[in-house]
Every structure is written in structure tokens, then in C-alpha cells.
């Protein structure tokens, strides 16, 4: 393969370094660098993992439905609960948030794509590689069994022989790379590529929350990276980071893990808060109450989240002064969160509320997160936490905030933005069944866990004896889990049924919800080039203000219809970045390296080759394929990226990104 020839004649790329043309079908998806497709890939993949994690949850609930359960043996149970946690946190909630961030963030800031589209694709494929790698452990009979929190020394090589915890460490490292790269990409995108006139304080709250999350990821992921490296070195090279017999401090793992782990929970919740902040105003027909406070409280949560990590360690023996400090800081982080709840209620107050499914889910977040937040306040009091920590009371708390907060918010987002992504609405009737079943099932499952915890049921136990009083609520909770499952299945049915129905119905048309932010300028589904022409932004909720003005009495009057304001997607002179297959090839190298580290170093060789080859290909592939079609086409069957005349500011920045990659 001669690079020299390619460099001397840049207009004639050769062989494998030819850029893929816009294809349809599976090749399109494999090589896409379109943020919208990548968002959909994240969402679909996460929902598959949701099924797997949900199955793991059902197994747990089946085992715990009765005392001395025999559904799972102790060893299997430990693997199942570990994988359930890992799956739900890293392979469901985070990528679902990434789905929304990827799809919506460029649209909400009026850009054509993210700053580094190929890096964006890389993030997805690396995430998929990591998630598949970790789940391969099941197939090889050695899934990790040390809990998602993996406390040392239990996860060291003496107490966790076998490869389970190696899968854990390597799988999370791989997924960490995906998150870190994505964080860098989105930060640069938001800081650099906003539409003309869009100052930071004219950005929608969802964009703000995503931005805060990316900063949290940027600084938190390296810390768990360090922790995982130290664990890998202990397990594989005999290092002494967590070996108390050699003088190490097992609490070091806990500190490193939770310095990551606490910001991580804000990473999990803030995107959902952003979604709720978009949905509630739309369906209350009023602007968000207190935009500046909503933005600042999100930033405050982001900052304060770094100062509370040891509340996960109140009984670990860190000493009363440390505990006191973290107890106080934890109590105060309730304040910015409480502000959000009250502002959402104030948004609804005085409004004219439409109870669409999206609105139901969003309001569900407000109530259910409140429960989780309040139980959180009860654990912030260190003395009380000495009774509560490591019991099912904590399990109740975090499921209320993650399921009741993050997941319900994500479902609100599904129902709200489905038409934007797919051109049709999700059915409202099935949607309501989806919502109520999920809500009822969820409360049935996790509500009683507050009681179980306070009655002394420890966490992470594979079974319990009769005579401790745990039987009734465990059975109740297990039934609730099946109701949740039914609710989720209804969602899946809704997705399929709505797609089918959409084939014989007219397209949904622009702006089905009478919404407020920039993404609704584009037709539904969004054309591949996003905006026909870039929007000049003059205010927050720019889209709304193009449709509505005020009369002399200050009442809202329509000044333009959605059809007049919205673009029609017909622009043909938009230059778009070309697809690439180097991201998936690069990502494919990681599992080889992972298996190589565990089984035989020879396997690292093909992995390293794939990665290095992909890096080279990436750097040297031409920005455009000069053999490609001239002009920008929109196929009736689907979008087709075109290559042509460079266009306005934002896509210049995109082009810049393509031409001078950093080593």
C-alpha cells in the first residue's frame, strides 16, 4: 500500500483508502458519520441492552421472590446482579442519553453536525465493542461477580480468581474511551459551532444539561480509568495497589471509584432533567419558569457533585471529620435539585396542560425523582446512614432516581422527539398504557424496598431466610417487576405498530407539538443536512418567537404558521462530510486487545494492527471522494450524503475538522 502515490495525487485515492460513497442499507449504517444516525444507533443498541439488563433484573426478582430461593445459585446470582448494574448504568442509561445528545444537540444549537463526525461514529462503535465484550463474559461462563462497584480486595486475584473481573475492568475501559471521546467532541461542538446569534444563554436547557454532563464525563472518566488500570495491574502483573498484606489501603479503590461514581450519577440524571425541561413547557404552553436558575442549578449540581463522593463511604472507616464534611456537602446538593423540581411545577402552574404521553412521563419524573431525592436526603445524615447504607433502602433510593428520574425522562424524550427522528408519532393510546404500567409496576417493585431496607434486608444477598420478615414485600416487588416488563413490551409494540401505521398515513408534518426550540425548524424526519440555511438566532426559544408575538395587551398571538416558519428540507447545495469505515475498524481492535490481555498476548497483535491501520487510514483518507456524485441528493428512500461546494460557517468548521486531524 503506497501512501506516497496517494499524497502526490490527492485527487486519486486508492483502494482501501477510497472513501465510501453514500450507500443505503447496512453499509450506510456501518459507515455513517451523521450524528442523527449515530444517535439512532445508540438508542437502538441501548434498548437491546435494556432487554438484557431487564432479564437480569427479572432473574434477581425471581430468586428473591421467596425465602431461600433456588432459582439461581449463589455464584450465578452474584454474576447476575453485577451484570444487571453494569448493563443498566453503562449500556442503557448512558447510551440512551448519548442517543438524545447525538441526535438533538447539533440541531438545538443550529449546526449541521458535531465538530468531529468520524470521532462521533468512533464513540458509538467503541461503546458497542465494549458492551459486547463485557457480555461475552456470559458466553464464556465467567461474567464478573464482584458487583458493579467492584470493591477491592474482593476483586483482586486471590478472592476473584478467574477472568470475571478482568472482563469488568477491560470492558469498562473500552466503554470509557467511548464516553471520553464523545465528551470532547460535544464540548467542542457546543463551544464552537452554535448558530449565529446563539449565545450560551440562548441555548435550550437540554443542551446546557448535556454540556454539563460532557464536562462531568471529561473529568470523571479518567479517574475510573486510573482505578481500572490499577485493578488490572494488581490482577495481572502482581502490583500492590489493593493488597493489604503488602501495606496497601483497600479504601483507595473506593475513593477512586466514587470520585468517578458520584459525578456519574449526575451524568445519569442531568440529560433527563434537560428533556423534562423541554417537554413540560411545550405541553404547558408556557416558557420554562426560571431559565437562568435552571441553567445555574444544573451547573451547580455539576460542580457540587465533585464534593460529595465519600457519602458512599460513611461506614467505611474514613474517620468522623471526613464523614461530617461529606454529610454536610451532601445535604446541600439537595438545594439546586429542589429548585428544579419547584421550577418545573411553577412552569405547569398557570399553564394549559396537554396530557400527551410525553407529558405524563415528564411529570412522572417530577414526582418519582422527588421520592428518590428525599430518600437521598435521609441518607445524607451520617448517623441515619449507618443504619440505611448497604440495605434495600439504598436500592430503593437509586432506583427511584435512575428509573423514576433518568429512565422515565428518556421515555418522555422518545415520545416527544420520535416524529423528529422518524417522521411519525408514537401512538398515544398504547403510549398511555406504556406509561401507567411502567409507573405502577415501578412503584410496586421499588416502593416496598424502602420498607425492606429499614427492616434490615441487606443488599447483594442471594437469598434470605424466613423469619426475618422479608417475605411479603419481596414477593410484592417481584410481581411489580413483571408489570414493568409488560409496560416495556407495550412500548416495543407501540414502536412497531406506529411504524406500520405510518406507512398508510400522511406524514406528520412540521412541528406536531407546537414546540419551542431550533430542532423543530427542520421537517420531520430531519433531512440529512439538517438546516436548509443556518438560523440567525435572536432569542431563547427562537422557534417559538418566530411563530408567536405579543399584542398590545401582552397576550400571545400567532404571527406565522409552522409551515411558514419551518424549512422544507429542499436545499441542494449543502456540503456534508463523507462517511467512513475507519471508526468501526478501529473499534473492532479493542476486543482483540481485551481478549489478548486475558488469554494470550498473541491476540493483542491483530487488535493492535486493526487500531494502527485504522488510525493511519483515518488520517490519510481524503475529505471527499472526488469520484462521488456532484450535488446533494435526497433519495426518496433515505438520505444520501453528497459532496460539493463548501457552504456556510458551520460546515466550514466541519471541513476543518476533517482536514487536520490531530495525531
Partner 1 sequence: MIPKLLRMVRLTTLAGGVLLALNGCASDAPLDTLEPQGPISRSIDSLSDPIFLVAGIVFVLIFGATAVIWWKFRDDHSTEEFPHQLHGNFRVEIAWTIGPAVIMAVIAVFALLSHFDLNSEDRQDIVLLVDGEQTSWDPEIVVVGQQWWWEFRYYFDGLDGVDLSDPRHLPPADIVTATQMVIPTGSEIGLSITSRDVIHSFWIPALNGKRDAVPRRISPWKIEADVPGFYFGQCTEFCGLSHARMRMQTVAMTPADFQVWVDEQMQPGVEPTDAAALRGMAVFEGQCARCHAVNGVYTKATEVGADLVANAAPNLTHLMSRTTFAGGIFDLYEPDGSLNRTQLEAWLRNAPAEKPAYAEGRRGMPAMGLSEGQIDDVVAYLQTLGARPDMRVIAATEVE
Partner 2 sequence: MAEATAVDHGHGTGTGLSNNKLLMWVFLGSECMLFGGLISTYLIYRSRFAEGPAPGDIFDIPFTSVSSFVLLMSSLTMVLALSALQRGDIRNNRVWLLATALLGSLFIGGQVYEFTTFVREGLGYTTSPFSSAFFTLTGFHGVHVSLGIVMLVSLLISSFRGTLTRERSETVEIVGLYWHFVDVVWIFIFTVIYLVPSPTS
Subset of 436-465 contacting partner 1 (CB under 8 A): 436, 440, 443, 447, 450-451, 454-465
- Of the pair 238, 507, the CB lying nearest partner 2 is at 238
Q: Is 331 exposed, middle or buried (0-12, 13-18, 19+ CB in 10 A)?
A: middle
Residue owning grid cell 454532563: 213
Residue-wise DSSP of 66-116: STT--SS-HHHHHHHHHHHHHIIIIIIIHHHHHHHHHHHHHHHTT-SS-S-
Residue 7 interacts, among partner 1, partner 2, none and using kind-specific CB cut-offs from 5 to 8 Å, with: partner 2
- Of the pair 346, 571, the CB lying nearest partner 1 is at 346
Residue 194 interacts, among partner 1, partner 2, none and using kind-specific CB cut-offs from 5 to 8 Å, with: partner 2
Spatial separation of the C-alpha atoms in residues 631 and 347, rounded to whole Å = 46
Residue 284 interacts, among partner 1, partner 2, none and using kind-specific CB cut-offs from 5 to 8 Å, with: partner 1
Residue owning grid cell 410484592: 476
Interaction of residue 147 with partner 1, rule CB under 8 A: yes
Interaction of residue 367 with partner 1, rule CB under 8 A: yes
Residue 464, φ and ψ in degrees, nearest 5:
-140, 155
Q: To the nearest whole angstrom, how small is the minimum distance from the Cβ of residue 342 to partner 2? A: 32
Give the contacts of 222 (CB within 8 A, at least 6 positions apart).
180
Residue 622 interacts, among partner 1, partner 2, none and using kind-specific CB cut-offs from 5 to 8 Å, with: partner 2
The CB-based long-range contact list for 11-17 (8 Å cut-off, 24+ gap) reads: 11/626, 12/626, 13/621, 13/622, 13/625, 13/626, 16/617, 17/617, 17/620, 17/621, 17/622
- Binding site residues, partner 2, CB under 8 A: 4, 7, 10-11, 13, 115-116, 180, 183-185, 187-188, 190-194, 218-223, 225-227, 229-230, 233-234, 237-241, 243, 246-249, 252, 256, 259, 620, 622-624, 646, 649-650, 652-653, 655-663
Within 173-212, the residues that bind partner 1 by CB under 8 A are none
Q: To the nearest whole angstrom, how small is the minimum distance from the Cβ of residue 76 to partner 1? A: 11
Q: To the nearest whole angstrom, how small is the minimum distance from the Cβ of residue 363 to partner 1? A: 6
Residue 139 interacts, among partner 1, partner 2, none and using kind-specific CB cut-offs from 5 to 8 Å, with: none
Within 308-337, the residues that bind partner 1 by CB under 8 A are 315-317, 320, 323-324, 327-328, 331-332, 334-336
Q: To the nearest whole angstrom, how small is the minimum distance from the Cβ of residue 623 to partner 2? A: 5
Residue 156, φ and ψ in degrees, nearest 5:
-75, 180
- Of the pair 368, 650, the CB lying nearest partner 2 is at 650
Residue owning grid cell 455539576: 302
Within 57-76, the residues that bind partner 1 by CB under 8 A are 73-75
Spatial separation of the C-alpha atoms in residues 480 and 471, rounded to whole Å = 14
Interaction of residue 539 with partner 1, rule CB under 8 A: no
Q: Which three cell numbers stand for residue 26?
A: 447496512
- The Cβ of residue 463 has, within 10 Å, a number of other Cβ atoms equal to 16
Residue 485 interacts, among partner 2, partner 1, none and using kind-specific CB cut-offs from 5 to 8 Å, with: none
Residue owning grid cell 442531568: 270
C-alpha distance from residue 499 to each of 432, 492, 505, 525, 640 (Å): 17, 11, 10, 13, 22
Residue 225 interacts, among partner 2, partner 1, none and using kind-specific CB cut-offs from 5 to 8 Å, with: partner 2
Query: 624 — alpha (psi -120 to 50), left (phi > 0) or beta?
Result: beta
Contact 172, 135 (CB under 8 A): no
Q: To the nearest whole angstrom, how small is the minimum distance from the Cβ of residue 561 to partner 1? A: 15
Q: To the nearest whole angstrom, how small is the minimum distance from the Cβ of residue 554 to partner 1? A: 8
Residue 657 interacts, among partner 1, partner 2, none and using kind-specific CB cut-offs from 5 to 8 Å, with: partner 2
Q: To the nearest whole angstrom, how small is the minimum distance from the Cβ of residue 373 to partner 2? A: 27
Total of residues contacting partner 1 (CB under 8 A) = 103
Amino acid at each position: 500500500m503506497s501512501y506516497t502515490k496517494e499524497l502526490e495525487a490527492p485527487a486519486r485515492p486508492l483502494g482501501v483508502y477510497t472513501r465510501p460513497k453514500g450507500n443505503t442499507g447496512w453499509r450506510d449504517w456501518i459507515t455513517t458519520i451523521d450524528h442523527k444516525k449515530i444517535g439512532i444507533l445508540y438508542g437502538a443498541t441501548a434498548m437491546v441492552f435494556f432487554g438484557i439488563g431487564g432479564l437480569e433484573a427479572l432473574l434477581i426478582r425471581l430468586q428473591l421472590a421467596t425465602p431461600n430461593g433456588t432459582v439461581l445459585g449463589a455464584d450465578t446470582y452474584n454474576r447476575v446482579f453485577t451484570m444487571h448494574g453494569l448493563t443498566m448504568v453503562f449500556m442503557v442509561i448512558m447510551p440512551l442519553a448519548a442517543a438524545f445528545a447525538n441526535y438533538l444537540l447539533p440541531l438545538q444549537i443550529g449546526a449541521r453536525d458535531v465538530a468531529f463526525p468520524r470521532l462521533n461514529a468512533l464513540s458509538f462503535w467503541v461503546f458497542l465493542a465494549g458492551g459486547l465484550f463485557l457480555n461475552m463474559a456470559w458466553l464464556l461462563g465467567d461474567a464478573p461477580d464482584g458487583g458493579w462497584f467492584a470493591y477491592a480486595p474482593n476483586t483482586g486475584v486471590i478472592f476473584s480468581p478467574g477472568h470475571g473481573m478482568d472482563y469488568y475492568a477491560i470492558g469498562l475501559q473500552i466503554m470509557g474511551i467511548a464516553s471520553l471521546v464523545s465528551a470532547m467532541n460535544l464540548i467542542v461542538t457546543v463551544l464552537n459551532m452554535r448558530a449565529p446569534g446563539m449565545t450560551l444563554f440562548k441555548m435550550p436547557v437540554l443542551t446546557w444539561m448535556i454540556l454539563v454532563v460532557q464536562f462531568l464525563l471529561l473529568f470523571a472518566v479518567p479517574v475510573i480509568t486510573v482505578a481500572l488500570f490499577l485493578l488490572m495491574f494488581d490482577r495481572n502483573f502482581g502490583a500492590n495497589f489493593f493488597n493489604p498484606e503488602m501495606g496497601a489501603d483497600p479504601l483507595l479503590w473506593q475513593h477512586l471509584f466514587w470520585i468517578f461514581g458520584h459525578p456519574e450519577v449526575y451524568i445519569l440524571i442531568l440529560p433527563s432533567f434537560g428533556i423534562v425541561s423541554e417537554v413540560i413547557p411545550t405541553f404547558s404552553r408556557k416558557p420554562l419558569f426560571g431559565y437562568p436558575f435552571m441553567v445555574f442549578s444544573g451547573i451547580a449540581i455539576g460542580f457540587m457533585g465533585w464534593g460529595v463522593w465519600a457519602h458512599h463511604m460513611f461506614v467505611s472507616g474514613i474517620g468522623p471529620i471526613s464523614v461530617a464534611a461529606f454529610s454536610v456537602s451532601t445535604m446541600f446538593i439537595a438545594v439546586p435539585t429542589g429548585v428544579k423540581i419547584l421550577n418545573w411545577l411553577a412552569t405547569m402552574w398557570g399553564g394549559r396542560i396537554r396530557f400527551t404521553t410525553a407529558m405524563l412521563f415528564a411529570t412522572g419524573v417530577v414526582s418519582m425523582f422527588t421520592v428518590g431525592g428525599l430518600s437521598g436526603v435521609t441518607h445524607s445524615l451520617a448517623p441515619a446512614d449507618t443504619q440505611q447504607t448497604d440495605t434495600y433502602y439504598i436500592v430503593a433510593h437509586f432506583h427511584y432516581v435512575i428509573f423514576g428520574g433518568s429512565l422515565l425522562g428518556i421515555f418522555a424524550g422518545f415520545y416527544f422527539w420520535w416524529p423528529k427522528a422518524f417522521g411519525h408519532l408514537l401512538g398515544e393510546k398504547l403510549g398511555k398504557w406504556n406509561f401507567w404500567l411502567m409507573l405502577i409496576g415501578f412503584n410496586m417493585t421499588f416502593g416496598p424496598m424502602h420498607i425492606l431496607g429499614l427492616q434490615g434486608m441487606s443488599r447483594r444477598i442471594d437469598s434470605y431466610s424466613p423469619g426475618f420478615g422479608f417475605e411479603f414485600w419481596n414477593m410484592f416487588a417481584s410481581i411489580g417487576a413483571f408489570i414493568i416488563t409488560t409496560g416495556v413490551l407495550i412500548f416495543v409494540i407501540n414502536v412497531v405498530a406506529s411504524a406500520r401505521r405510518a406507512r398508510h398515513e400522511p406524514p406528520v408534518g412540521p412541528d406536531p407539538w407546537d414546540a419551542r426550540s431550533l430542532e423543530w425548524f427542520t421537517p420531520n424526519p430531519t433531512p440529512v443536512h439538517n438546516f436548509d440555511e443556518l438560523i440567525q438566532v435572536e432569542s431563547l426559544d427562537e422557534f417559538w418567537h418566530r411563530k408567536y408575538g405579543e399584542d398590545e395587551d401582552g397576550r400571545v398571538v400567532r404571527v406565522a404558521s409552522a409551515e411558514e416558519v419551518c424549512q422544507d428540507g429542499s436545499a441542494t447545495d449543502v456540503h456534508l462530510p463523507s462517511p467512513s469505515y475507519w471508526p468501526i475498524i478501529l473499534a473492532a481492535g479493542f476486543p482483540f486487545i481485551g481478549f489478548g490481555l486475558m488469554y494470550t498476548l498473541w491476540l493483542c497483535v491483530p487488535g493492535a494492527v486493526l487500531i494502527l491501520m485504522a488510525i493511519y487510514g483515518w488520517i490519510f483518507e481524503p475529505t471527499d471522494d472526488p469520484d462521488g456524485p456532484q450535488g446533494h441528493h435526497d433519495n426518496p428512500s433515505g438520505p444520501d450524503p453528497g459532496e460539493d461546494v463548501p457552504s456556510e460557517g458551520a460546515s466550514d468548521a466541519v471541513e476543518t475538522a476533517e482536514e487536520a486531524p490531530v495525531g
